[in-house]
Structure 1
């Protein structure tokens, strides 16, 4: 598929996996793994099955909603937390 701006002989195929974020259940992979690990620690370690399932479903739901709004919300949040508070009220 070529467009008007392409230069002859300079087409580079890019795999779709390199341009899209990696999701696991609709949430970024690292957030989903962290959420599942935390929920498993509560469910298995503390033997609070209902609380573990609740933490998992609430955490996964919040992560999916955040990822729908901005797929790169995790790096943005990390950068926000690292910045100094320049504008104090």
Structure 2
């Protein structure tokens, strides 16, 4: 019986890849993609401003994809950042 230094018997658990990766729609976080699509649909369909609605969706989705490439949890980080009080402001 040999003891492998990397693994201890009984303490090895397989981890599925979907538990470690963020949920993205088209490269953007799911909640941002849904909110952005809904807002663009309201502008495009509800107000019948087709071009501004399309531009709003394109710009919003591009910014969300860019942010998700830098950090997939950028929304949680930004929300926590907003909650903190400024340190050096008078």
TM-score of the aligned structures, taking structure 2 as reference length: 0.88
Between the two proteins, the alignment pairs up a number of residues equal to: 87
Aligned counterparts, 1:1-89, within 5 A: 4-88=5-89
| Larger Rg, first or second structure (1 or 2) | 2
CA deviations on 1:26-66 (whole Å, 9 max, x unpaired) are 00101100100110111111110100000000000011011
Cα distance, 1:21 vs structure 2: 0.3
Structure 1 unaligned spans of 5+ = none
- Aligned CA-pair RMSD: 1.5
Structure 2 unaligned spans of 5+ = none
TM-score of the aligned structures, taking structure 1 as reference length: 0.89
Moved over 6 A (4+): none
Cα distance, 1:4 vs structure 2: 4.5
